[in-house]
A and B are shown apart, each in its own frame.
Chain A
Amino acid sequence: MFNVETIRKDFPILSREVNGKPLVYFDNAATSQTPQQVIDVIVDYYSNYNANIHRGVHSLSQEATDKYEQARQKIQAHFNAKHAHEIIFTSGTTHGINLVANGFSSLLTKGDEIIVSALEHHSNIVPWQMLCERTGASLKVIPMNQDGELVISEFDALLSEKTKLVFVNHISNALGTINPIEYIIKQAHLVGAAVLIDGAQSTPHIKPDVQALDVDFYVASAHKMCGPTGQGMLYGKEAWLKKLPPYQGGGEMIAEVTFEKTTYADLPHKFEAGTPNICGGIAFGAAVDYMNAIGFDTIASYEQELLEYATKNLQSIEGLTIYGTSKHKTSVISFNLDGIHPYDVGTILDKLGIAVRTGHHCAQPIMDFYSIPGTVRASFAFYNTKAEIDALVVGIKKAKMMLS
C-alpha cells in the first residue's frame, strides 16, 4: 500500500528548511532527490570496496567489478534489453546522445535527412546540428501544436527514404507531453531509419520496454531516477552498437594495442573508455531497485493524481496560463501569470521555500512557439504531496499580489 508519508522518510533532504520554510521541492524534472537506500550504497562503496574495475587481480577490484556488472544487469532487466552488453554506461543522457551522433557521422552522407521534434531539449538539437554540419545531412523538424503535442501528420510527410535517423524525446521536459513514440518508431522503421529516444523525462515515471518498443537507441540519466548525477545509460540494439565506431579512445575500450593498430574491445567496453563512474553505476542500479520496489504503476497513478489536483487548483488562479495541455502528459506544469515575468515568480516562490524552475528550460524553440520568454515549471515526483501543492497555490497567489 503506497503511503507518501512513509516514502518521504526515505529522503533526508525533504525534511530540511529553505529560507526558514519547509522545503517544497518541485524541480524534479531537473533532478530528483536521493533516497537513503541509494545514499547508503554510495557510502558503502567508498567505505568498503572502492577499487578500479575489470583488470584488477585483487579481491577489492573483483568485488567492485562484480557490483558494477550486476548494476548493468539490473539496468538491462529494468529496460528489458536482450543483452547486458547492450547497456552502455554513460555520464548521462547528453553523453549518450553525443555518442550516437558521433557514431553516425561516418554513416551519413550529403542528402541524408535527420528528423527531430519541435519539443526537443537543446541537448537533443545541438548534437544533430553539429552532425549535419559534419556530414552535409539536413535537419527536419516535426512541428508542434498549441496543446504542446507533435503534429504527427507532418512527421508522416517528412519521412522518406532519405530519412536515416529520427530523434524524439519520449516526454517533453518543458511541457510534460508524452509523445507517441510507438508510432514514430514503427513508421521510421518502414523507411529504414534508426530511432533514438531521449528518455530523460520518461524514465522517472514509466518503465520502458525497449524490446517491445523495438527502439534502436534509448538514453536516460540516473539523477532523474533517484540516482546520482554524472551517470546515465545508453541502450542500443546489439547490431547498431557493433556498427557504430567507438566514441572516445582510452583504456578499457581496447582489446589489443600496437603502434600499428588497435583492436577494440567487445561491447559494452568499446564505448566505455577510461575508468568509469564506478560508484555511479552501482548507485544507479540501487536507484532502479528502489523505484521498482515502489512500483512504476503505483508511481504513475499517484503522480497522475498530483497532476490532476495541481492542474485543477492552478487553473483556479485568475490570470494563470498553463502551457502544454495535452491529455497525455506527466506530472509537469509549465505556467505563467499574466504580465509577470517567470523569473519574478520563481524568486518569490524561492523565498517561500518552494523550488521551481524558471526560464526556457533549454527548449527555446518551444518558448518561441508560444512567444514567451520562458515559464515557471513545477514538476512533481511520487514523494510530493497535495499539501505541498496547496503551499504552491498560496505562494503563486502571494507572488501575484506582490508583483502586480
Chain B
Amino acid sequence: MTIEEIQNEIIDEFSMFEDWEERYQYMIDLGKDLPLIDEQYKTDDHIIKGCQSKVWVHADMQDDKVEFTADSDAIITKGIIAILIRVFSNQHPKDIINADMAFIDKIGLKEHLSPTRANGLVSMIKQLKMYAIAYQTQIK
C-alpha cells in the first residue's frame, strides 16, 4: 500500500469513533500493540528530543525500503508513534520525505500538531523524515 492508501485506511478507522474517548482508547490500544524497539536501541542516541515523555526510534533499510521500530514510556505517545510508523514503515525514503501529513487533522489529532505541544508529534515526524533523508542518500 502507498502512504496515501494507508492514511486513508486510518482515516476510515477513526471515522467510526463518536467521541474523543473512543479515539484515545483506540490510540492507547495501538500503543500497546506497537512492535517494540530492540532494547539495544533504547539509548540517548535514539531519543527524540522535544517530548515530555521519552520516545526512542530506530530505523533500518531493506530493499530500498525504510523500516521503523519505536517505543515510548507514555502510552498515548506510543499510540501516536504507532500510527506514524504504520504510515511510514516499509516505504521508499523519497515517499516518506514527500508525504503530506494532513491526515493527522482528519483523525482528530490536530491539537497534537502544535509545535509547542509537549508530546512532540512534530518532532517525531521530523525525526522519521530525517531518517528517510539519510537513507535516500544511500540509494544509488
Contacts and interface: CB of A to CB of B under 8 A. Distances in A.
Given A351-B20, A373-B73, A402-B21, A343 B28 contact: no
Contacts of B28: 402-403
B53 interface: yes
Given A348-B24, A373-B54, A341 B74 contact: yes
B24 A402 contact: yes
Contacts of A402: 21, 24-25, 28
B75 A403 contact: yes
A348 B79 CA distance: 14
A340 interface: yes
B104 to A, nearest CB: 16
B52 A374 contact: yes
A305 interface: no
A374 B54 CA distance: 11
Contacts of A403: 28, 75-76
Interface in A314-371: 340-341, 343-344, 347-348, 351, 358-359
B18 to A, nearest CB: 13
Interface in B48-79: 52-54, 73-77
Nearest to B23: A351
Contact of B53 (A19, A341, A351): A341
B119 A343 contact: yes
Nearest to A347: B76
Contacts of A340: 75
Given A359-B52, A373-B53, A374-B52, A343 B74 contact: yes
B130 interface: no
B133 interface: no
B117 to A, nearest CB: 10
Interface in A1-44: 19
Contacts of A19: 20
B118 interface: yes
B47 to A, nearest CB: 12
Contacts of A347: 24, 76, 119
Interface in A244-285: none
Interface of B: 20-21, 24-25, 28, 52-54, 73-77, 118-119
Interface of A: 19, 340-341, 343-344, 347-348, 351, 358-359, 373-374, 402-403
Given A341-B74, A343-B74, A343-B118, 11 more contacts: A340-B75, A341-B75, A343-B53, A343-B76, A343-B77, A344-B75, A344-B77, A348-B76, A351-B24, A358-B118, A403-B76
29 contacts: A19-B20, A340-B75, A341-B53, A341-B73, A341-B74, A341-B75, A343-B52, A343-B53, A343-B76, A343-B77, A343-B119, A344-B74, A344-B75, A344-B76, A344-B77, A347-B24, A347-B76, A348-B76, A351-B21, A351-B24, A358-B118, A359-B118, A373-B53, A373-B54, A402-B24, A402-B25, A402-B28, A403-B75, A403-B76
